[in-house]
Amino acid sequence: MATTEEPTIELKVFVDKKKSRVLFAESGKEFVDVLFGFLTLPLGTIVRLLGKESQAGCLDELYKSVERLPTGFFRTEACKTMLLSPINGAAKQCCQLKVRVDDTKHREVYVCTSCYVHANCAYSSVPGAVCKCGDTKFIITDDFKVAPASTSLMLFLLDKFEVQDPSSLEQTTIQLSLDKIIGLLKRSLTSKDPLTGHYFNVAMAHDDTGIDMLHESLHQEQDNGGEHTPINLSISVLQTKNNSSVLYAEVGGDFVDLLFGLLSIPLGSIVKSYGKCGSKGCVDNLYSSIGGSVKGFLRPECQSFLQSPKLTPFFGCGTSKILQVEELSPYKEEIGTCFKCFKTYGFSNLTYCHENNYRYPYYHINCIETVKTTNLCEMDPKSPKEECENGEAYVKQGHQKFIVTDDLHVLPLSLAITLQVISEAKIQKRDLVEKELALTKPQVMEIFKAASVTRKALSTVLLPPMNMKKLYHHSFGLY
């Protein structure tokens, strides 16, 4: 029996063996398309593809919380599905990738990077046919900066990496399958040198590297002022008296809905909002390349979708409003068949309504309905029948309370769970204090940012960093 061979993408890497480092790689558009496609992936899709081991802050715990939470806590059963398998908003605007990272149906990403600039694009039914525009080559640095290949760029990189003798570089061609590309996606979230890590099979670190930079950026933003008005989000925090850590927050469904909503947000939207602080890895370099070095090689609408990824219709929520991520309009289509025939035969035979009945010539058509069109309109999967509440929320609103741990693990509130969290922390009751907080919009945005970088999201945002406290006391001569 014939088997379908798994597609791969070819990548030529230039390796400094003495330093055990990949300096840069060269590829055609296919690999670049895949890299840029990373930016359109919703965070929930990334966590799912990486087997809930993305190591990207608290996102794994958020995803597992949605999985474990009974369906009854969500407004509809579809709400849970939407968070666990969010749909890529760029699906219909792009061409198919050679290696499709997102396994959800209708995933299409990007361009013939050269001729797609023009209004007309060529295609062929013959596998392997080469476009009349040729195939532009790109250079991808170890930290995923992308630029068209050129002599000047090559010389710049040789100078940057202090390569005196270019012949000393080893050139190796590697084949990237789906599994290996997903591995690169994971490394891009947590590493500044994903190509080197992949080539030399370097183990990925499990730590909070970069947390000091995150602390500094968060509290600088707080000091710069801004919209500090409470947004009607009240939470109760159980923390240590010495401000060293938050054990958990007692919250309502509104706060949980904002956290879960993160799973529907595209990776590119996180980078757009937070830049380098939105990831410990190098996806920010991919994002910067789109508006910089490869800008002239992308059709304007594709560049727009990559720089400002949009949500699929009805995936908009409070989270997307705060992060200013736009939602596509619901899908509408008029099809040439009556509703009765469409319901009976579906899309397989839309012409049935209009065909002549040759068996019984006295009947001119198979269907006697007078209206020969049906309007299809996409429905909101979040809204149960006859429900009048806000259609944006995923989680049911009401009196139900939840606890959210420091790493954003969400659970229904119960005495047994709270005691378990306190016991596991090995902290005496006398060292704990409960505080009531009214969150501001900047604080909520800071929690979103911290969620993708550290496993101590609540402590990072809600507690002042120790070094800043010492600096503050020293400036007033208090010690």
Our CA dihedral for 194, 200, 206, 210, rounded to 10 degrees, sits at -40
Q: What Å distances lie between residue 474 and 244, 462, 477, CA to CA?
A: 19, 22, 5
In eight-state DSSP terms, residue 74 is B
* pLDDT number for residue 136: 79
* pLDDT number for residue 95: 43
* pLDDT number for residue 476: 30
**Rounded to whole angstroms, how far apart are CA atoms 68 and 61?**
10
* pLDDT number for residue 424: 94
Question: What is the maximum span of the chain, computed from C-alpha positions, in angstroms?
Answer: 103
* pLDDT number for residue 353: 73
Residues in the chain: 479
List all residues 6 or more positions away from 53 whose beta carbon is below 8 Å from its beta carbon.
Answer: 60, 186
The answer to whether residues 52 and 63 touch, using CB atoms and an 8 Å cutoff, is yes
User: H or E stretch including 248?
Assistant: strand 246-252
* pLDDT number for residue 120: 41
* pLDDT number for residue 87: 85
* pLDDT number for residue 355: 67
Q: Terminal CA-to-CA distance of the chain, rounded, Å?
A: 79
pTM listed for this prediction = 0.83
> Average pLDDT per run of 10 along the chain, which is 479 residues long?
74 93 92 90 93 93 96 91 88 58 53 39 35 72 94 94 92 93 94 94 72 55 58 93 96 96 95 86 93 86 89 93 93 78 70 61 57 78 64 88 97 95 94 95 95 94 66 33
* pLDDT number for residue 418: 94
Compute how many other C-beta atoms are within 10 angstroms of the C-beta atom of residue 187: 22
**Rounded to whole angstroms, how far apart are CA atoms 145 and 285?**
5
Query: How big is the CA angle at 36 (ends 32 and 38), to the nearest 5 degrees?
Result: 125
